[in-house]
Each structure stands twice: as C-alpha cells, then as structure tokens.
C-alpha cells in the first residue's frame, strides 16, 4: 500500500483575486519517493480563461516546475511541503492531501480525471460511482468516521445521503451526465427541502459535477443551482467540494497523532 501525498496547482489571473483554474497536480509517493507533476494538456481552456496570458511562457514555467520537482533527490517526509511553499502569487498549490493506494500510477490517473477532467474525452471521465469511490478514499485519508447508512429525517423517514462524515457533514453528490435536467428539478427540490429541515442537525454539503452539461441543459442547471444554494451554503462543484472537505474536516497527522 503506497502512502501518497498530492496537491493541486492552481493559476490565479490576479494574485489578489480568488478566481482560479486547475493547471496541474503534484504527487509524492512517501514509500518510494517517486515524484510526479502532471500538467494540463487542455491549453485552449487555459487560454479562454485568461486571454492576456503569454501561453508559451506559461507552458515553459509549468514544465520548469515539473522538472525541478521530479529531479529532487531529497528523501524526507517534508519534501512536498518545502517545495510548494514558495508558490504564493499567480501560481499556488492547494493544501496537501494524503491517501493510501495500492497503485501509484492508477491513483494519479484517477486524480487527473477529477481535477483535470477537461483534459479527458467525455467518454473517459469518471461516473458517479467512481467519483464516490474517490471521495471515500480521500475521506479515509483524513482518518475520520464515515458512513453510507441512511439517516432519519425529521419525519422519521430514511434519507440516503452519499456520505455522513463525523456525524456532522451530510454529503450528497449530483452527477448530471446524460440527464435531462428539467426532469431533475423536482428531485432537487426534495433534497433542498430536506437540507433546510436538517440544517440544525447536519451541515448538508451538495456537490455537483457539471462537466458534461450541454448548452440545452445549461439553463436548467442554473435553476438547480439556485435551488441548492438557497437550501445550503455548502454547494460546490466537484473540485471545490473536494477542497472544502479536505480543508474543513479535521485531519489526523499520521506521524505525530496530532490534529492539524
């Protein structure tokens, strides 16, 4: 079982703003000290995000970071922490996340399909069950309690969230791939109602994957997001939802046993 650390590399067009796009992912295998930095291949998406960007210079910068990291010879548990702390302006790394996986390369491929999903052909993107498995793997890396059992609603009915974490966060994931979203609105209203009624007991976290929503369904997606946002302040797209979970649930340091 490989002990893996990773962090997402984000590009901020303005270093004083909060809008950003994922442009890479850095990985460290703490058992073998193999180091990888995967860089986006969807340059058109980066260009459309910031039409003032010098693309050739930007590519050179990213591949220079990749080369610098992968050629490091250090072998200590703080390699990744020490490397990413220097990037604080337009290019910033996310909080380091830790997981265990039997296959380092397979985990890298899964993670790319989450954070760099627009690099992949639509047919190769993760489905909802694969996304749930990935989320569960991240949660397990946090050393917190996680349940998939139904919980009781205020009317003593069974509510089937995807995950209940630490008895505090109720997580529901919506995957809109190949769906007629106008037909999903009624179900969304039900989840929104339950979230409002349960807000004194659980922090309901809605996570949605809109990467395959076509133009015909886009207006219905806007309606859905308005409903979810009214019901819960914790409504995120897939990447922001994963970041929220890993940044807001207490993490147990495996080396010291301390909460960080």
Decide if 33 contacts 3 (C-beta within 8 A). no
Angle formed by the axes of helices 185-198 and 215-231, nearest 10°: 20
- The reported pTM is 0.79
Q: Is the pLDDT score of 253 beyond 70?
A: no
Q: How many separate helices (H) and strands (E) can be counted in the chain?
A: 8, 12
pLDDT category at 257 given cuts 50, 70, 90 is: very low
The average confidence (pLDDT) of the chain is 87
Tell me the pLDDT tens digit for each residue of 50-105: 888 999 999 999 999 999 999 998 888 899 999 999 888 899 998 898 899 999 99
Which tokens sit at 50?
């910031």
pLDDT of residue 5: 94
State the pLDDT confidence band at 193, using cuts at 50, 70 and 90: very high
Rounded CA-CA distance 18/87 in Å is 15
Strand order of the sheet with strand 203-209?
Answer: 146-147, 163-165, 169-175, 203-209, 235-237
Output the pLDDT for position 216: 83
pLDDT tens profile 6-62 = 999 999 987 666 788 999 999 999 999 999 999 999 999 999 988 889 999 999 999
What are the sequence ranges of the domains in the chain? 2-125, 128-245
For residue 252, the model assigns a pLDDT of 39
The 10s digit of each residue's pLDDT in 171-192 is: 999 988 778 899 899 999 999 9
Of 38-42, 63-67, 231-235, 247-251, which gets the smallest average pLDDT?
247-251
Q: For 128-245, CATH number?
A: 3.40.50
Tell whether the model's pLDDT for residue 143 goes beyond 70.
Answer: yes
């Amino acid at each position: 079982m490989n002990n893996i650390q990773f962090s997402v590399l984000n590009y901020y067009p303005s270093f004083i703003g909060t809008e950003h796009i994922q442009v890479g992912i850095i990985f460290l295998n703490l058992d073998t000290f193999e180091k990888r930095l995967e860089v986006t291949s969807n340059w058109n998406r980066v260009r459309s995000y910031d039409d003032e960007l010098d693309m050739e210079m930007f590519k050179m910068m990213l591949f220079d970071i990749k080369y610098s990291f992968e050629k490091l010879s250090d072998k200590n548990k703080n390699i990744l922490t020490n490397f990413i702390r220097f990037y604080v302006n337009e290019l910033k790394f996310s909080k380091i996340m830790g997981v265990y996986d039997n296959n380092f390369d397979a985990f890298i491929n899964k993670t790319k399909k989450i954070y760099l999903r627009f690099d992949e052909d639509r047919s190769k993107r993760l489905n909802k069950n694969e996304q749930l498995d990935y989320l569960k793997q991240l949660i397990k890396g946090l050393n917190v309690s996680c349940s998939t059992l139904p919980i009781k609603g205020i009317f003593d009915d069974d509510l089937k969230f995807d995950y209940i974490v630490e008895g505090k966060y109720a997580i529901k994931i919506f995957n809109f791939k190949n769906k007629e979203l106008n037909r999903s609105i009624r179900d969304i209203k039900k989840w929104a109602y339950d979230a409002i009624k349960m807000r004194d007991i659980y922090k309901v976290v809605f996570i949605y994957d809109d990467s395959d929503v076509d133009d015909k369904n886009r207006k219905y997606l806007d309606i859905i997001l308005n409903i979810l946002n009214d019901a819960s302040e914790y409504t995120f797209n897939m990447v922001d939802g994963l970041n929220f979970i890993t940044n807001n649930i207490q993490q147990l340091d495996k080396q010291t046993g301390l909460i960080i």
